[in-house]
């Protein structure tokens, strides 16, 4: 990916985000997280130099490598993948600005315990399986608000910032819209939630129209 291509890709995505955002609310802010899991440090650097600041990785080891390779840049690193229990301490040490994939009470308990041991806190999103798909992690929608409240009450070293979901894997746009609407309804009923993270390269405009305040875009940003 050339510098020119990086600038063009980023401009295209931001233009699409802004156009869609203005259809919803001119005061609404939608944050773009560039998902860099299939990208090199050089490609990330080119997007950074084009103005992108938030990047997301879905494996703890990859996040560690990219952080080290790009340690001279003040990148806001996000963790977006499933977190294995044996990687919790490693992730805490990497200190991401936001962990998107808190997908069970069991994980919350383990994460909080290890955060307390290290005297650290972590910003997290509760992952909801809004489309009830077996291939996806996350809390079932009907339990999501109760789980959100329980984590808030019991696990003081986790700063819950909101909700994350992945849109329905479907050719029918109505299924995708329904899954986003389910997520937004849960988000609206979470006390003090400030982030509704939903929407990826193929559906982020639909997600914004249905209430997303943070989109996770990878392939559309890093295509050559």
- What CATH number does the domain containing 120 carry? 3.20.20.10
pLDDT in tens, the chain (224 residues): 787 888 899 999 999 999 999 999 888 899 999 999 889 999 999 999 989 999 999 999 999 999 999 999 999 999 999 999 999 999 999 999 999 999 999 999 999 999 999 999 999 999 999 988 888 889 999 999 999 999 999 999 999 999 999 998 888 899 999 999 999 999 999 989 999 999 999 999 999 999 999 999 998 888 75
State the total domains in the chain.
Answer: 1
Q: Give the domain range for residue 165.
A: 3-222
CA–CA dist 193, 36 (Å, integer): 26
């Amino acid at each position: 990916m050339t510098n020119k291509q990086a600038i063009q890709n980023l401009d295209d995505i931001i233009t699409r985000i802004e156009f869609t955002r203005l259809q919803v609310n001119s005061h609404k802010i939608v944050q773009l997280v560039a998902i860099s899991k299939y990208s090199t440090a050089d490609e990330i650097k080119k997007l950074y130099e084009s103005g992108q600041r938030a990047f997301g990785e879905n494996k703890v080891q990859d996040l560690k490598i990219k952080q080290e390779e790009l340690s001279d840049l003040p990148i806001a690193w996000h963790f977006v993948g499933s977190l294995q229990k044996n990687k919790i301490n490693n992730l805490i040490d990497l200190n991401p600005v936001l962990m998107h994939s808190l997908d069970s009470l069991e994980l919350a308990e383990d994460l909080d315990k290890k955060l307390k041991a290290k005297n650290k806190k972590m910003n997290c999103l509760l992952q909801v399986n809004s489309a009830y798909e077996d291939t996806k992690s996350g809390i079932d929608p009907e339990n999501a608000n109760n789980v959100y409240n329980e984590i808030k009450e019991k696990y003081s070293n986790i700063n819950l910032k909101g909700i994350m979901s992945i849109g329905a894997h479907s050719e029918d746009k109505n299924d995708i819209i329904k899954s986003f609407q389910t997520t937004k309804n849960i988000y609206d009923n979470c006390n003090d939630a400030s982030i509704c993270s939903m929407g990826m390269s193929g559906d982020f405009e639909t997600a914004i129209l249905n209430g997303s305040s943070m989109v996770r875009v990878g392939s559309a940003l890093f295509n050559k």
